[in-house]
């Protein structure tokens, strides 16, 4: 259960901070290592590739 909670938290943060704020809206500049970690965490959410997630989110405009 603890492992599931850790991976759930990582994937949630990957989508919220990585895909949404960093990659889609460019809300902050991150160094390469942090960007890679955020992309990997976003990938744990099983919502497709990061570039596809960002493109879909930008297309619907929210």
Residue-wise pLDDT for 14-54, tens only, equals 999 988 999 999 899 999 999 999 999 998 898 889 899 88
Q: Is 31 a member of any domain?
A: yes
Alpha carbon 48 to its chain's center: 11
Q: What is the pTM of this model?
A: 0.80
Whether 62 has a pLDDT exceeding 70, the answer reads no
Enumerate residues 6+ apart whose C-beta is below 8 A from 4.
none
- Tell me the two tokens of residue 8: 């759930």
Q: Is 10 a member of any domain?
A: no
Q: Is 6 a member of any domain?
A: no
Q: How far apart are CA 5 and CA 8, in angstroms?
A: 5
Domain limits for position 37? 16-60
Q: How many domains does the chain have?
A: 1
Predicted local confidence at residue 38, as pLDDT: 92
């Amino acid at each position: 259960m603890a492992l599931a909670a850790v991976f759930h938290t990582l994937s949630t943060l990957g989508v919220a901070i990585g895909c949404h704020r960093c990659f889609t809206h460019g809300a902050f500049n991150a160094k390469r290592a942090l960007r890679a970690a955020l992309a990997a965490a976003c990938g744990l959410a099983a919502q497709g590739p990061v570039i596809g997630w960002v493109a879909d989110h930008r297309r619907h405009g929210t």
